[in-house]
Amino acid sequence: MSLPNSVSQPLEKQRTNIYTMMLVLSFIALVTGSFVSGYYFEVLKKETGGDAPWNVSAATPKQPT
């Protein structure tokens, strides 16, 4: 009993399945989210005058004298 000769049959290209499409869509979502969040933080930086919104050094209370 011999093994079948696989050289005589041409290989078929595998069709795209749902998992490949999910991988592509998740990659597109990650790239889009990165660009949108970067744009949002740039706009926020311009609106606040260049300081990060989590910079709370200006909000420290003054010590009574």
Counted domains in the chain: 1
Provide the residue range defining the domain that includes 28.
Answer: 18-50
What would the pLDDT profile of 1-48 be if each residue is shown by its tens digit? 556 665 677 788 888 899 999 999 999 999 999 999 999 888 877 877
The token duo for 11 is: 């290989």
Residue at 42 is within a domain:
yes
* 3-class DSSP state of 30: helix
- For residue 5, what pLDDT is reported? 60
Residue at 5 is within a domain:
no
CB 53, CB 44: distance < 8 Å: yes
For 44-54, b/e burial (b = at least 16 CB within 10 A) is eeeeeeeeeee
- For residue 42, what pLDDT is reported? 86
